[in-house]
Amino acid sequence: MQLRLTGGFYERNQQKDTSVFGVNEGDKIKKGTPIVSFDIDKIKAAGYDTTVSVIISNTADFAEVTGVPAEKADLTRVVIKAVK
């Protein structure tokens, strides 16, 4: 699955000060692998929206891709279900 993460603070080049990436472009990851972590307090203090969009760019490779509504995402929550 090919993912793109984006948010208002990303588009304003704030990710250097607020984010830690656990993977690099092209990495193969497994369930539970931390992709990125954010300093939410720092983002809010800078006045940015903390909403992050997850975009799947290869949905045609799957029979079904469904977003699972959640207030917040962490390692214990499923936020995307994909069926090959």
Q: Where are the alpha helices (DSSP H) in the chain?
A: 8-11, 15-18, 40-45
Global confidence as pTM: 0.61
What are the pLDDT digits (tens) for 35-74? 877 788 888 888 888 777 888 889 999 999 998 887 777 7
Instruction: Please provide residue 40's backbone torsions phi and psi, each rounded to the nearest 5 degrees.
Output: -60, -40
